[in-house]
Amino acid sequence: MLQVFEAAAGWPSVRERLARRIAEQDLASLDDAVAFAVRWHGDQTRPAGEPYVEHLLEVVCVLVEAIGTTDIDVLRAAVLHDVVEDTECSLEDVRERFGDRVAGLVDWVTKPVPSEGQTREEVRVAYLTRLLSAPDDALLVKLADRLSNVQRLDTHPRPEKRRSYYQETVRSVVP
């Protein structure tokens, strides 16, 4: 049976689900990461219009409920995995608040901004190539991110984007 990971009820509901598997002091640390992500992502939405933070919480649910991950640094990195890529937050902001390990994991899964003269395709290929040497914990975050996005592809308004994202996932991320 295929399990769909949802976080539509928000952090309080997800937190309650995770409380069965994660120690209270770790949940408190995760509270901080969620608040940080919510502050930076603000009113961002996913392509179908739901709050972007739902995606971040789904990634955490995948890691805990499907994989059994309880490593708090991995879970905090999961909540923060798009904060540098999609907001004005810097990797140094993440490092100052959450430490080197969390910042390092976020860095591994953050697509770089194209430098002058570099095409988006060149950046994409370099990013996917770099992922091949990523540490296992960074790959767990990336795979959980992809699962969250793939399970929602049917809600994306552009069919060509659905196809290309799925193809990239099966060809390059989960070869």
Positions marked active-site: 85-86
DSSP helix/strand/coil, 13: helix
For 145, the enclosing helix (H) or strand (E) is helix 136-150
- In the numeric block, which tokens belong to residue 70? 């309880």
* Nearest of 13, 8, 137 to residue 67 by alpha carbon: 137
Query: CB of 110 within 8 A of CB of 84?
Result: yes
* Residue whose token pair is 């992809």: 146
Residue 105: beta bridge partners?
none
